[in-house]
Amino acid sequence: MVVIRLSRGGARNRPFYNVVVADSRNRRDGRFIERLGYYNPMRQDDPNALRIDLARVEFWKGRGAQASDAVEKLIRRAPKGAGVVSA
């Protein structure tokens, strides 16, 4: 099954997440199909803390991909617009 989930990066106590499309059998930080955006929880006040390509999210959901709960929350938080958006 194809899933849209967060892949963790960054240093210890300084997380950074990529929003990726991956096969559910792959490791969390392992191989992925496509990178859809990123989320930096350390920069809540920064307008570039969240960036997701909503058009590609809809494309993958149309193909049957399941988004994780965390990614669903980020998608709802992102303002609706065309192409790549930031919150």
**Taking the domains of the chain in order of start, what are their residue ranges?**
2-86
Report the number of secondary-structure helices (H) and strands (E) in the chain.
2, 6
| pLDDT > 50? residue 82 | no
Task: Classify domain 2-86 at the CATH superfamily level.
Answer: Ribosomal protein S16 (3.30.1320.10)
Are the C-beta atoms of 7 and 20 separated by less than 8 Å? yes
**What is d(CA 51, CA 71) in angstroms, rounded to the nearest whole number?**
12
Query: Using one digit for the tens of pLDDT, what is the confidence trace for 17-70?
Result: 999 999 999 998 889 999 999 999 999 888 889 999 999 999 999 999 999 999
Q: Provide the whole-model pTM.
A: 0.85
Q: What is the pLDDT of residue 48?
A: 87
Q: What is the pLDDT of residue 81?
A: 56
φ, ψ of residue 81 to 5 degrees: the values are -175, -175
